Structure 1
Amino acid sequence: MATTDRFPRQATTLALAHALSAAERGLAVIPLSRTKLPALRSPHRDEHRDNLRDGHADDPAAPPCHGECGRPGHGVYDATTDPVRIRALFAAAPWATGYGIACGLPPHHLIGVDLDTKSDTDSSAALRELALRHLFTIPPTVVVLTPSGGRHLWLTGPPDVVVPNSAGRLAPGIDIRGAGGYLVGPGSRTAHGVYAADPGSAHLPPAPCPPSLLRLLVPPPRSARPGRQPPAGGAHGRGLIQFVLAAHEGQRNTRLFWAACRAHENGIGTELTEDLITAAVHTGLTAREARGTIASAARMTAHRPAP
């Protein structure tokens, strides 16, 4: 049994070492399982089951918890650069064999371009065609090789632009990891193999995203209603509002919470609140749900230690 257990322990130790190294470079990380999913399950899963067993319905107006409860298990919202917290997360998930790197967070505001090989389309050729059509080139940057033969290109974005996650929107076989998403970090071991940094790019920092490509990644702004004042907070405020407006069903609370957190961290939370509520209602949330989610974000950022 000791021999059987040795490999998971070694894989977890290696993943932790790689995660700590990434955190030293300002990249917030979480432990991942061999399935590439967050290793720690939600602490509210059993609470929901117990409510159903006892005949109690969950409050539909209550905003989802994104870590305010103080317990781990909130996916990318657990991501941190604090080595003490990282060790605690891995200690709570001794089965973890990899780590995820949260995108969209300062100081790098990481954007991941995932060139998939499962699609019938040549994603690398599709990216070259986009580059020719829109007159941009991908600068030398970090490239991570996936077990399936794909590639992850790491780029950085400006702090006042929010890039959403997308799958195949840019072109078939090209997925984008942005705000609220994560990339599998190099050195992670999954059920399909190991993610590894391309040796030719291991010494490089993530390069800035070309402006022409960045424009393709950001959702177009919705038409403003007549007489409506522009959102507070300048370009950053407009970007956060656009991020909320681009939410699909199932993403609305998560996107609103993320945008509200970023707004409060940048000192524009109070002045942007009404615009965020209006955007959230436009996507289908009620004003009460939106206010609850924004209040939850305000509480979380108020207790988060400064980076």
Structure 2
Amino acid sequence: MATTAQHTTTLALAHALSAAESGFPVIPLSPGKLPALRSPHRNEPGGDVHPCRGECGLPGHGVHDATTDPAAVRALFAAAPWATGYGIACGRAPHQLIGIDLDVTPTTAGATAAATEAGATGVSTSAASTATDPTPDSVVALQQLAFQHLFTLPETVVVLTPSGGRHIWLSGPAGVTVPNSAGRLAPGIDVRGAGGYLVGPGSVTARGAYRLAPGSAGLTPAACPRALLRLLTPPERGRHAGPGGHRGRPAQGHGLVQFVLAAHAGQRNTRLFWAACRAYEHGFGDSLAPTLVDAAVRTGLTEREARATIASAARLTAGPA
């Protein structure tokens, strides 16, 4: 067993070094897809959401540790011999990587896998769909967005996930910040941008391996279509502020809290995560977090569970390094 684990880590390092050589900043990941190195500030006030992003000089700052330097990559993996995969930082030069994560539900996982094999780099999956194996909702949603906003996805890198989903890699223009989001673009579509990361192909997780889709080998991320880029970069917050600038925030925060309070058993954690993501995306996550924790506890979650979920939302929607 130890030999197998060591082999998996060695392969992960090899894949990570190859990605770094191609200009993709990388970090080691645990089997749970989280950064393998724990925060050096975990016992300090702030814990997982400590403001330090590596300025202290110690490893363990998640995506902010990402590097293309081979010696630094080896050092990170040497400090995390349990790593079985690697993450690729998005929004960083030279590729300015943007990840379009098409998620699936268990009932459509088989459909996505078949669709990906048939046409992984396109939006259309009609050739892979049948009456008994429907196209996943996230793919349908992306098809609708492409039709409504008149764009076509170019041939680009696509990574197949163990759950049957796929990650579409695109390149953004320098100087444009694409934020992370979960379900904002459409249900089942998450976006990985500045401050986020994608699990790299060749990684092994608790759920299985990530691998390049057929035809992706040798490709680099294609430029993101302008129409899609506009959807990924919301207007500046000031344009949506009501009279008095930020005075619209409390009402919005109140709605998110009510959304959490209305959760039933089986949806409490999901609703809390969604609400926290929206709050952090709009810049008031930290101030609303205590109220969200209180609301989640009232629905039946423990305080520890609530804080962990909100910390995950904070990490997902973190700003650029």
Tell me the TM-score normalised to structure 1 length: 0.69
Shift of residue 59, structure 1, vs aligned partner:
8.6
Distance in 2 (CA, whole Å) between partners of 1:59 and 1:182 is 22
Q: Which of 282, 298, 305 lines up with 1:246 in the alignment? A: 282
Equivalent pair of 2:196/2:316 in contact (CA under 8 Å): no
Distance 1:222 1:82 in 2: 36
Aligned-partner Cα distance in 2 for 1:245–1:177: 13
Give the match for residue 134 of structure 1. Answer: 149
CA shift in 2, pair 1:18/1:245, >3 Å: closer
Distance 1:199 1:138, change over 3 A: same
Matched residue of 1:152: which SS?
strand
**Does the 8 Å CA contact 2:152/2:225 hold for their aligned counterparts?**
yes
1:31–1:99 Cα contact (<8 Å) kept: yes
2:75 paired residue number: 88
Map of 2:220 onto structure 1? 205
The aligned counterpart of 2:13 is 16
* Aligned-partner residue type, residue 179 of structure 1: A
8 A Cα contact 2:200 2:210, kept in partner: yes
1:247 CA drift (Å): 2.7
The question of whether the paired residues in 1 share the 8 Å contact of 2:32 and 2:206 is answered with yes
**Residues 90 and 96 (structure 1 numbering): CA distance in 2 closer, same or farther, change over 3 Å?**
same
Contact 1:157 1:208 in 2 (8 A): yes
Unaligned runs of 5+ in 1: 49-57, 229-243, 262-307
Q: Do structure 1's residue 105 and structure 2's residue 92 form an aligned pair?
A: yes
Partner secondary structure for residue 111 of structure 1: strand
Give the 5 Å matches for 1:133-282. 133-223=148-238, 246-250=282-286, 258=319
Is the 2:181–2:281 Cα contact (8 Å) retained in structure 1?
Answer: no
The match for 1:27 is: 24
Q: CA separation in 1, counterparts of 2:46 and 2:142?
A: 45
Q: Once the 2 structures are TM-superposed, how far is the Cα of residue 257 of structure 1 from its aligned partner?
A: 8.7
- Partner Cα distance (1:201, 1:255) in 2: 26
* Structure 1: distance between partners of 2:157 and 2:90: 14
Match of 2:274 in 1: none
Q: Does the CA-based 8 Å contact 1:164-1:178 persist in structure 2?
A: yes
**1:223 shift after superposition:** 3.5
Render the CA deviation track for 1:103-129: whole Å, top value 9, x for unaligned: 000111000000001288521111111
Once the two structures are superposed, residues 212-263 of structure 1 have per-residue CA deviations (whole angstroms, 9 ceiling, x without a partner) of 000000011233699x9xxxxxxxxxxxxxxx9833404999899955x5xx
Find the aligned partners of 1:66 and 1:160 in 2 and give their Cα distance.
20
- Counterpart check, 1:114 vs 2:101: yes
Residues in 2 aligned to 1:68 and 1:256: alpha-carbon distance in whole angstroms: 20
RMSD: 2.7
Letter of the aligned partner of 2:285 in structure 1? E
Letter of the 1:37 partner, please give it: L
**8 A Cα contact 2:28 2:85, kept in partner:** yes
Q: Secondary structure at the match of 2:98?
A: strand
Looking at structure 1, the residues matched to 318 and 159 of structure 2 have their Cα atoms a distance apart, in angstroms, of 30
1:12 aligned partner, one-letter code: T
Say which SS state the counterpart of residue 113 (structure 1) adopts.
Answer: strand
Q: Secondary structure at the match of 1:223?
A: helix
1:215 aligned counterpart, secondary structure? helix
- d(CA) in 1 for partners of 2:236 and 2:86? 34
User: Percent identity at matched positions?
Assistant: 64
* Contact 1:247–1:255 (Cα < 8 Å) also in 2: no
The equivalent of 2:257 in structure 1 is none
The TM-score, its normalising length taken from structure 2, stands at 0.66
Give the Å deviation of 1:45: 1.5
Distance 2:316 2:33 in 1: 22
**Mapped partners of 2:223, 2:187: distance in 1:** 23
Instruction: Please say which of residues 172-181 and 64-73 is displaced more in the overlay.
Output: 64-73
CA distance in 1, matches of 2:84, 2:101: 21
Secondary structure at the aligned position of 1:108 is classed as coil
Indicate if the aligned counterparts of 1:103 and 1:181 stay in contact, CA closer than 8 A: yes
Counterpart residue number, 2:267: none
Q: How far apart in 2 are the matches of 1:132 and 1:16?
A: 40
- Equivalent residues of 2:179, 2:317 under 8 A apart: no
Aligned to 2:33: 36
Contact 1:66 1:77 in 2 (8 A): yes
SS in 1 for 2:214: coil
SS in 1 for 2:39: coil
CA offsets 1:124-158 (integer angstroms, 9 cap, x no match) = 11111110010000000000000010000000000
Contact 1:63 1:253 in 2 (8 A): no
